Structure 1
Amino acid sequence: MSASAAPPTVTPAARRFALIGGSLGNLVEWYDWFVYASFAIYFADSFFPGDNPTTKLLNTAGIFAVGFLMRPVGGWVLGRAADRHGRKSALTLTVTLMSVAALLIAVAPTYGQAGYFGALVLLMARLLQGLSIGGEYAASATYLTEASARNRRGLGSSFQYVSMTCGQLLGLAILITMQHTLTTGQLQSWGWRVPFVLGAVFALVVFWLRRRLTETEAFTEETGGGSDTARGSLKALWEHRREAGLVMALTLGGTVAYYTYTTYLTKYLIGSAGMAKSTATLVSFTALAVFAAIQPLAGTLSDRIGRRPLLITFAVGCTVGTYPIMTALGSAHSYWSALGLSLLALVIVTGYTSINAAVKAELFPTRVRALGVALPYALANALFGGTAEYVALWFKDAGHEKMFFWYVSGCALVSLVTYVLMPDTRDAALSRAEAEAGTGARPAPAEAAG
């Protein structure tokens, strides 16, 4: 593509289809990922013997955390694939892997049928899911951000957490429906397998949809400039190691807070507040529905005032608010009190979730954008996000549950320092075409020289 060539025109309809297609696929990916946590209270007995319910949940939470260990591998392998072969091909591959993993969980034998072999199948499926989701985050974050108009990237990227949260909501809706139609014994015996079968079917539908997506303008422009053997390589990422470090630091507080108030919340309300399982599930469902609805509002706000104000607001709120919110939730016995506190926490977390995909994508040039988002983000999640629930249960089992609240606040404080010191990324150009449009946007690192 010559320097004087006009960038191709992308119609609003094409952008909408790209956002819808990318978001629906992301929804199914995260449905499969989170449904494990939602149904763990019912299938923990199937794979681990013993009489201590907290120990059984620790075992299932441990396997949940182990799945995160594969996310850096998935981020590296599939992030590289997205930078070298396109966002579309990587998105198609991730949903295929997730479908296979869901089927494995659905057919895994119980402890009574095959001893610990069933737990081994569960572990292998979670590792495969970790590989898939490690690439999914980067590919979808990059795709949704690149496919959005420059002045609406905050809005476009917010749909990543809209779809992620809707994936959780779908899982919770299925759980609530099954809680009202099946007995607890039926759920523990065979009912927990149903959502995994559905997840595999949903993934097949998304595979068909993603095959029909169009590649982003930024990637097409990059590959049109000739062969680049370093594209998507660790060597190319090393050239942007400062930005990679920023991704890890800005992710730390956000991922711990997100998993605390989403996947762990239901277990906390049941185990610590003494709330009925069905009531706790309904609290989580309602709070997450509101949470999903406000993501685009916050994303749009960031397009007007910048990314840093929202990130800083989240980090301050999480640092000072976690202890009182979690303490109050531990004493909440009614639906409305628990819902109000949960919504307060999730509104604070929205300052991170609504725009983090755009911020990370805006830090890197096209040739290493997917890998730059994927690998450091996956490492931060493996170390902190995936272990949040396990750390919480460990403190509870040790008799020091409130220490976990300080842990969450400390992680948010680290990210707060990062947000204060980092530049605002809203005006970064994601491609040469955007930079040549002459609207004052600054190029992403090393992009102008391309």
Structure 2
Amino acid sequence: MRAESPPEPSTSGRSAPPGPTARTARPAPRAGGPRQLLAASAGNLAEWYDWLAYAYLSVYFADRIFPPGGGQAVLALNTFAVFAVGFAARPVGGLLIGHLADRRGRRTAMATTITLMGVGQLAMAALPTYQQIGVASPVLLVVIRLAQGLSVGGESTVSAVFAVESAPAGRRGLYSSVAYVSGNLGQLLASGVAALLAWQLTTAQMHAWGWRVAFGLGALACVAGLWIRRGTEETYRTAALPSAWPRPFDFLRGNPREAALVVGMTIGATVVFYTWTTFLPTYARLVVGLAPGTALTASTVSLAFFIVLQPLAGLLSDRVGRKPLLIAFGIGFTVLTVPLLGLLRNSFWSLLLISCAGMVLLTGYTAVSGAVMAELFPASVRTTGVGVPYALTVAAFGGTAPYLATALIDRGHAGWFGWYVSGLVLLSTLVYVGMRETKGVALR
């Protein structure tokens, strides 16, 4: 176990009261090892399974929750509008849960996020239909998605920070990649469960009750994740006295440039991530008429490929640095987004090849972004410093991407969406080029 780091200066501009128990917040001894990674990964997997099962199963439950009439496109618009509403809660979750992590420790925050998500999954599994309770059904769906958005807004950051803070010397890139490995495993599980149910049940059964089974399994995954997180070692010990605790927006006072960098890094990447890992099966169904089961199967295979790439890219970043991978991601999607989407055909192999090509490029961001962002901030404001600007950007751009793409398709302008993605990725690429290299920089 590593020796404890010396206390760091307060970023809030306030000094703690004198006395033997007054001290500034400081990192705890880092435990490292498989148990820490498993704790970060298990909850993150359960969280992302729950969050993205909504997107994969929406084609089956939309006609049960929303008012009838309007056709397939209207149902898709309603579904992804609620998906975007859930993202609106993510910045609030990033602030509240991030502040909890910076005040009371990472373990407390991680227990809170997974409990909240588990309750949301139980509510989804038991959600009454529009025929049963009328307009209250979509209203309840919005409330559930807001609660899940709070949870994911905190989880995605605190688990990544926990993993990076647990990393041995020279392995922060590898440990950072585990956040997306577990998140992608959650996506893979969600996609796989949806695909398995779609193949084993009839379409009528999927619309009637099959989608509820998937959400029930998500609730069980949250219980398992909460149990695994018990007994792990804390990576950050907070101040003994409340007067030394950081305030929610202290990260903006002390690190405004770093917060702006998180926004710039995320703008293009979040749109690409949710397009390629979540929306592409729906895009293929709406644009070229690919069957839902076929699209989900292709998505599942490409996500498995994506998972394998993460630790390899994380290890590579520990050798060559973070910037080369980020720049490769940025240039690749700036140039290739429109051609790749233009190659999509009504074919399993077409969707699979386009998905895998995008996953290779996307790995340049996903494998290293957690490490880069954590390396920008001091420990006392690290979770809020990363979580709030990241969640705001994801809500504004990532959460709205499926809705925007669906609206453009509905109006006959499907090709415009690729140019939108390329433009945002170009902005992020300029940020990557201008950033300093953080590989080898000691965590503050």
TM-score over 0.5 (shorter chain):
yes
Cα distance in structure 1, aligned partners of 2:169 and 2:208? 51
The answer to whether the Cα contact below 8 Å between 2:83 and 2:399 also exists between their aligned partners in 1 is yes
2:329 is matched with which residue? Answer: 314
Give deviations 1:242-301, integer Å, cap 9, x for gaps. 100100110111100000101111101111121111111111000010001100001110
2:320 is matched with which residue? Answer: 305
Residue type of the partner of 2:55? A
From the superposition, tell whether residues 112 and 369 of structure 1 become closer, same or farther in structure 2 (CA, over 3 Å): same
Cα distance in structure 2, aligned partners of 1:423 and 1:150? 20
The answer to whether the Cα contact below 8 Å between 2:164 and 2:175 also exists between their aligned partners in 1 is yes
Alignment of 1:291-302 (within 5 A): 291-302=306-317
Residue type of the partner of 2:234? E
1:84 maps to 2:94: no
From the superposition, tell whether residues 208 and 323 of structure 1 become closer, same or farther in structure 2 (CA, over 3 Å): same
1:214 is matched with which residue? Answer: 233
1:201 maps to 2:220: yes
Helix, strand or coil at the partner of 2:128 = coil
Q: CA deviation at 1:239?
A: 1.2
1:35 maps to 2:60: no
Residue type of the partner of 2:271? V
1:357 maps to 2:370: yes
Cα distance in structure 2, aligned partners of 1:9 and 1:144? 13
Cα distance in structure 2, aligned partners of 1:417 and 1:309? 13
Give deviations 1:408-435, integer Å, cap 9, x for gaps. 00110010010011111112211xxxxx
Cα distance in structure 1, aligned partners of 2:131 and 2:258? 49
Q: Point out the more displaced range, 21-30 or 234-243.
A: 234-243
1:24 maps to 2:39: no
Cα distance in structure 1, aligned partners of 2:258 and 2:5? 29
Q: TM-score, normalised by structure 1?
A: 0.91
1:438 is matched with which residue? Answer: none
The answer to whether the Cα contact below 8 Å between 1:83 and 1:232 also exists between their aligned partners in 2 is no
Unpaired stretches in structure 1, ≥5 consecutive residues: 431-446
2:33 is matched with which residue? Answer: 15
From the superposition, tell whether residues 91 and 2 of structure 1 become closer, same or farther in structure 2 (CA, over 3 Å): closer
2:138 is matched with which residue? Answer: 119
Q: How many residues align?
A: 421
Alignment of 1:243-254 (within 5 A): 243-254=258-269
Residue type of the partner of 1:243? E
Cα distance in structure 2, aligned partners of 1:51 and 1:189? 20
Q: TM-score, normalised by structure 2?
A: 0.92
Give deviations 1:147-186, integer Å, cap 9, x for gaps. 1113010000101111111101111111122112210000
Q: 1:343 aligns with which of 350, 353, 356?
A: 356
Alignment of 1:126-141 (within 5 A): 126-141=145-160
Q: 2:440 aligns with which of 402, 405, 427?
A: 427
Q: CA deviation at 1:229?
A: 2.8
Helix, strand or coil at the partner of 2:417 = helix
Cα distance in structure 1, aligned partners of 2:247 and 2:307? 32
Cα distance in structure 2, aligned partners of 1:150 and 1:409? 36
Give deviations 1:194-252, integer Å, cap 9, x for gaps. 11111111111211111222101xx23x647x766352531343210110010011011
1:286 is matched with which residue? Answer: 301
Cα distance in structure 1, aligned partners of 2:207 and 2:242? 54
Cα distance in structure 2, aligned partners of 1:191 and 1:259? 24
1:385 maps to 2:404: no
Instruction: Give the root-mean-square deviation of aligned CA atoms.
Output: 1.7
The answer to whether the Cα contact below 8 Å between 2:239 and 2:245 also exists between their aligned partners in 1 is no
Helix, strand or coil at the partner of 2:231 = coil
Q: 2:274 aligns with which of 239, 254, 259?
A: 259
Cα distance in structure 1, aligned partners of 2:310 and 2:318? 13
Alignment of 1:151-230 (within 5 A): 151-216=170-235, 219-220=236-237, 223=239, 229-230=244-245
Cα distance in structure 1, aligned partners of 2:291 and 2:251? 51
The answer to whether the Cα contact below 8 Å between 2:103 and 2:245 also exists between their aligned partners in 1 is no
Cα distance in structure 2, aligned partners of 1:104 and 1:120? 13
